[in-house]
Amino acid sequence: MIKLEPNYNPAEIEDTWYVFWDGNGYFRPDPDPEKKPFCIVIPPPNVTGSLHMGHALNATIQDILARWKRMTGFKVLWLPGMDHAGIATQNVVERELSKEGISRYELGRDAFIGRVWKWKAEYGGKIIHQLKKIGASCDWTRERFTLDEGLSRAVREVFVRLFDEGLIYRDNRLINWCPRCHTALSDLEVEYEETEGKLYYIKYPLADGDGYITVATTRPETLLGDTAVAVNPEDPRYEQFIGKVLNLPLTHRKIPVIADPAVDSAFGTGAVKITPAHDFNDEAMGKRHKLPSISVITEDGKMSAEAGEKYKGLDRYACRKAVINDLKDEDLLESEKRHVHSVGHCYRCKTVIEPLLTIQWYVRIESPAAEAVQAVKDGKTRFIPDSWDNNYYAWMRDIKDWCISRQIWWGHRIPVWYCPECSNDKGVCQGDLIEHIFYKPVEFGNGRVVNGGTYSELRKSGFSHEEIIRDSKIIHVSKSVTPFCRREDLAECPSCGSRHIIRDPDVLDTWFSSALWPFSTLGWPDKTEDLKTFYPTSVLVTGFDIIFFWVARMLMMGLKFMEDVPFRDVYIHALVRDAKGQKMSKSKGNVIDPLVMIDKYGADAFRFSLAAFAAQGRDVRFSEERLEGYRHFINKLWNATKFIIRNEESWTKQPPAGMEPDLASKWILSRLAFTVDEVNRNLEDYRFNDAANSIYHFVWHEFCDWYLELSKPVLYQEDSTGKTAMVNCLFFVLEKSIQLLHPIMPFVTEEIWKDVFGKEDSIMLSRYPSGLPRFIAAEESMEYVINAITGIRSIRGELNISPSLEIKADIKTLTEKAEAVLNSNLDALKKLTRCKEIRIGGKVERLKGSAVSVMNEMEIYVPIEGLLDIKNEINRLFKEMAKLDESLSFLNKKLRNEDFINNAPKAVLEKDKAKFSDLVNKREKIEENMKLLESIEKNGG
């Protein structure tokens, strides 16, 4: 006997089923060579991360696809893993260290990295367990980490090959620098925020003669690094100043006034100070005019020696104050105004970015980008929705070389070595070009203290090579030092054979390794079976915010190293916002925790909500209210199941093909077939909301509302011939429904499957419904039944006839077909309308004092005389007439329009004509009835 709990309790079964699936290897791809591959690589979440709504939506969509494809006969691989998240992870561990009062520099590089691995083992990857909670059917045996051995090998291979091709190079230029994280950042890792600051107006006196030029700046402290003042050549105010020399305030330097059309005369005073070492526009200007660059700010965000003895060592903001005070003292500060402008912040720690002149590693992006653009243009990869194409093209057009080096420790170390004992191509000893800064000053016995210096100097001072390496906090290697890039760690200089070689201290941008994710996770550079089978992957599911960070880079790397795109489709899903449409953020306090939702409502309801919300091209507004609604849906499904299994003894487990179904059964089978087609099509088109809604509608409003109710008269009869067929049909439709639902709601459907059907080991192994037969004639016939029932119910409802009151009804049928169909469903009609008697037929006459409802091919009469006030019915009919008149006048106008008759497609014309005559007919009937009722009323009837 089938047993089912009285209420569905998700918490009790979800974990059990998950362990069951995973333990039985159902998440692993079927090795069957006949099956076509379907592969998704997960966008690797940060190892530091915990699941938020965006992840939840992302994972739900991938899981729907994976489960659906598995059930439709594909060998599915959903490959999970995590990203080492260089800066973020390093920050987490540094924070931990600072609680113990130590910095990473005190710990040293190797010990620090050990500490991070330890942290990862203990706390990292929380998100993996959370993904399991929502039911993600990832193949955990293939889980990867961007820093694991295999992926590191891939990173190294890629770096070496790009280096050898000259696509990777070092250069000294201005980059975004985070003084707190102490590393370079790529353009994308800078977030601009509107910030209120001040615009300071500063006088720059002419070097000879009187007068001055006033410049406006938001960053007075960079004045110390100015190397010019620029004006627009067209600006008459400054014409006579061009080429003159100014005394740079607070310094003893003299700087020229130059003319450049890039200067906006309308902004500030129309004269702008130029600091090529600390501003991107100024850098460009400096290049055009061959101005020197003076770096006055260091990597710690403090003023350098170049800033002058007085300011050296001051924090940049302290220096700003000092400079302003000093300018005031010299009467050079003309004024200051409030000024709102956008300021770059580090995307990891929110510290204000400092543009700094440093040597970094870059990838030449132009030709890979062109290929990646072409691949999308050629349709080798398509974005869904395709509105993202343009964004992608636009960004790729403006793309700049990618800065891939980071001055942190947690990451893939750049596989490049330098020899301090060789001379470079200009004959300079390279040891003179490599500078070391020690963690802490090293004291000699004689009281001499050394903070660092060039390699050569340090060696001369008596430091051994090993000591220098051990004690170096920072190593600056000049651009002119020859790099050796190798797949294997280098032990000696390939040129001179010295064992005293220095490895490049930088690590790679995390995105460098994630760009390889679609093939590195499948085993590349080895030619593995997985790689052969699953590359290119089928679809990438991700949010639009990382199209540039990640998707574009994967395309470039995939095309370069696999000679094919990494994925066929890119499904871009929405951002999850709160119910008011605001971005969720910790500071706003409107964050919804997916795990809390799962606890409260179950993973299935949660997943269903996300799917139902996920309309293409629109943000998701998550509301708990709707989530609750979908929990009700599960409850509905559960209770329907309870109802169905009560008839277990009549269940012969025969498919509907072997039965002679009654009309209702044929109808529901046809509706099921329709839904199955719709769901498959919608999933094919990534229309998850439509797929979810169409199952919802079918299960609730067709299967439960109509079919279950229609089955009752048959099931409650002691000895009904149709009973077995009907019960089989009930079970069949239930079975197909839960299969249809499984990709969206895996847990409850498995529970029902195992409890009720228990065929295959798991619903996951069953075949997804598709290609069921439609019965259009049955659907048309059912219209009569539904219309008749709805008609009678409407009268009851609108006239407020108590549901407990059993009434009589008459249906005058206008066609034989209607009569036949209704007659053969008389029991259902009576049951569903709570009528004790219904007369059906072409000769049925309307009884005096009846309420009326006119439908296609039938007129419905409910005698109400004596039951209630006839006035109510007259009112009701009056309202309906008004509605009919409105429609009629509209159609009439249309049908008398000759242009319409001549131009509209014939089908449309015919449809409207038919509609018109139907309405005319209906109106006549109603009018007739109204007159009758009115006469009864007058006669005191």
Partner RNA sequence: AGGCGCGUAGCUCAGUGGGAGAGCGCUACCUUGACACGGUAGAGGUCAGGGGUUCGAAACCCCUCGUGCCUACCA
- Which residues inside 281-310 make contact with RNA, applying CB under 7 A? 281
Residues 335 to 354 in contact with RNA, rule: CB under 7 A: 339, 341-342
Query: What minimum distance in Å lies between the beta carbon of 555 and RNA?
Result: 18
Q: What is the 3-state secondary structure (H, E, C) of 727-794?
A: HHHHHHHHHHHHHHHCCCCHHHHHHHHHHHHCCCCCHHHCCCCCCCCCCHHHHHHHHHHHHHHHHHHH
DSSP code of 454? Answer: E
Identify which of residues 634 and 828 has a Cβ nearer to RNA in the complex.
634
Does 105 contact RNA by CB under 7 A?
Answer: no
Does 700 contact RNA by CB under 7 A?
Answer: yes
Instruction: Please identify, among the stretches 153-161, 245-253, 528-536, 575-583, the one whose residues bind RNA according to the rule CB under 7 A.
Output: 575-583
Cα dihedral 879, 882, 884, 886 sign: negative
Tokens for 174, please give them: 């201005």
Rg (CA), the chain: 38
Residues 734 to 753 in contact with RNA, rule: CB under 7 A: none
Q: What are phi and psi of 497, to 5 degrees?
A: 80, 5
Residues 11 to 50 in contact with RNA, rule: CB under 7 A: none
Does 640 contact RNA by CB under 7 A?
Answer: yes
Count the neighbouring beta carbons within 10 Å of the beta carbon of residue 13.
Answer: 18
- End-to-end alpha carbon distance in the chain: 59
In 641-725, where do the E strands start and end? none
Work out which of 115, 126, 180, 697 binds RNA, going by CB under 7 A.
697
Residues 884 to 923 in contact with RNA, rule: CB under 7 A: 890, 894, 897, 899-900, 903-905, 908, 911
Cα dihedral 421, 424, 429, 434 sign: negative
Identify which of residues 254 and 879 has a Cβ nearer to RNA in the complex.
879
Tokens for 582, please give them: 């605001």
One-letter amino acid at 62 equals Q
Query: What minimum distance in Å lies between the beta carbon of 632 and RNA?
Result: 3
Count the neighbouring beta carbons within 10 Å of the beta carbon of residue 753.
Answer: 24
Q: Which helix (H) or strand (E) holds 341?
A: strand 333-346
Residues 861 to 880 in contact with RNA, rule: CB under 7 A: 879
User: What is the distance of C-alpha 920 from the center of its chain?
Assistant: 53
Residues 229 to 288 in contact with RNA, rule: CB under 7 A: 263-264, 267-268, 270-273, 280-281
Residues 529 to 568 in contact with RNA, rule: CB under 7 A: none
Three-state SS at 797: helix
Residues 465 to 504 in contact with RNA, rule: CB under 7 A: none
Identify which of residues 136 and 855 has a Cβ nearer to RNA in the complex.
855
Work out which of 798, 827, 918, 934 binds RNA, going by CB under 7 A.
798
Identify which of residues 615 and 884 has a Cβ nearer to RNA in the complex.
615
Query: What minimum distance in Å lies between the beta carbon of 341 and RNA?
Result: 4
Does 800 contact RNA by CB under 7 A?
Answer: yes
Distance between CA atoms of residues 349 and 90, nearest Å: 11
Does 390 contact RNA by CB under 7 A?
Answer: yes
User: What is the distance of C-alpha 923 from the center of its chain?
Assistant: 53
Site string for RNA, 577-606 (x = CB under 7 A): --xxx-x-----------------------
Does 634 contact RNA by CB under 7 A?
Answer: yes
Identify which of residues 654 and 794 has a Cβ nearer to RNA in the complex.
794
Q: Are 610 and 60 in contact (CB under 8 A)?
A: yes
Three-state SS at 940: coil
Query: What minimum distance in Å lies between the beta carbon of 521 and RNA?
Result: 27
Crossing angle of the two packed helices 688-696 and 663-684, in degrees rounded to 10? 170
Identify which of residues 24 and 387 has a Cβ nearer to RNA in the complex.
387
Identify which of residues 579 and 777 has a Cβ nearer to RNA in the complex.
579
Identify which of residues 3 and 938 has a Cβ nearer to RNA in the complex.
3
Identify which of residues 68 and 638 has a Cβ nearer to RNA in the complex.
638
Query: What minimum distance in Å lies between the beta carbon of 746 and RNA?
Result: 18
Residues 829 to 858 in contact with RNA, rule: CB under 7 A: none
Instruction: Please identify, among the stretches 15-23, 80-88, 527-535, 800-808, the one whose residues bind RNA according to the rule CB under 7 A.
Output: 800-808
Query: What minimum distance in Å lies between the beta carbon of 647 and RNA?
Result: 9
Tokens for 919, please give them: 């309405």
Q: Which residues of 425-457 are buried (b: 16+ CB within 10 A; e: fewer)?
A: eeeeebbbbbbbebbeebeeeeeeebebbbbbe
Instruction: Please identify, among the stretches 29-37, 245-253, 731-739, 791-799, the one whose residues bind RNA according to the rule CB under 7 A.
Output: 791-799
Instruction: Please identify, among the stretches 17-25, 135-143, 719-727, 802-810, the one whose residues bind RNA according to the rule CB under 7 A.
Output: 802-810
Identify which of residues 341 and 767 has a Cβ nearer to RNA in the complex.
341
Residues 180 to 199 in contact with RNA, rule: CB under 7 A: 187, 192, 199
Query: What minimum distance in Å lies between the beta carbon of 620 and RNA?
Result: 7
Query: What minimum distance in Å lies between the beta carbon of 713 and RNA?
Result: 9
Residues 708 to 727 in contact with RNA, rule: CB under 7 A: 708-709, 712, 716
Distance between CA atoms of residues 342 and 331, nearest Å: 29
Residue 692: is it exposed, middle or buried by C-beta count within 10 angstroms (0-12/13-18/19+)? buried
Query: What minimum distance in Å lies between the beta carbon of 605 and RNA?
Result: 9
Residues 396 to 435 in contact with RNA, rule: CB under 7 A: 398
Work out which of 704, 868, 895, 936 binds RNA, going by CB under 7 A.
704
Query: What minimum distance in Å lies between the beta carbon of 382 and RNA?
Result: 14
Identify which of residues 437 and 799 has a Cβ nearer to RNA in the complex.
799
Distance between CA atoms of residues 793 and 788, nearest Å: 9
Beta bridge partners of 403: 362
Instruction: Please identify, among the stretches 60-68, 323-331, 389-397, 460-468, the one whose residues bind RNA according to the rule CB under 7 A.
Output: 389-397
Identify which of residues 54 and 415 has a Cβ nearer to RNA in the complex.
54
Q: Are 562 and 519 in contact (CB under 8 A)?
A: yes
Residues 200 to 219 in contact with RNA, rule: CB under 7 A: 215-219
Instruction: Please identify, among the stretches 124-132, 334-342, 365-373, 763-771, the one whose residues bind RNA according to the rule CB under 7 A.
Output: 334-342
Work out which of 24, 464, 802, 856 binds RNA, going by CB under 7 A.
802
Distance between CA atoms of residues 495 and 484, nearest Å: 10
Identify which of residues 386 and 660 has a Cβ nearer to RNA in the complex.
386
Three-state SS at 26: coil
Query: What minimum distance in Å lies between the beta carbon of 234 and RNA?
Result: 13
Cα dihedral 901, 907, 910, 915 sign: negative
Give 350's Cβ-side CA count (13 Å radius).
Answer: 3
Q: Which helix (H) or strand (E) holds 161?
A: helix 149-164
Name the nearest CA neighbour of 703 among 753, 641, 787, 777. 641
Query: What minimum distance in Å lies between the beta carbon of 197 and RNA?
Result: 7
Q: Which residues of 181-217 are buried (b: 16+ CB within 10 A; e: fewer)?
A: bbbbbbebbbeeeeeeebbbbbbbbeeeeeebbbbbb
| DSSP state letters, 114-150 | HHHHHHHHHHTTHHHHHHHHTT----GGG-EETTSHH
Distance between CA atoms of residues 307 and 255, nearest Å: 15
Work out which of 588, 618, 836, 871 binds RNA, going by CB under 7 A.
618
Size of site (CB under 7 A) for RNA: 87
Instruction: Please identify, among the stretches 554-562, 655-663, 704-712, 812-820, the one whose residues bind RNA according to the rule CB under 7 A.
Output: 704-712
Work out which of 321, 701, 759, 836 binds RNA, going by CB under 7 A.
701
Query: What minimum distance in Å lies between the beta carbon of 215 and RNA?
Result: 5
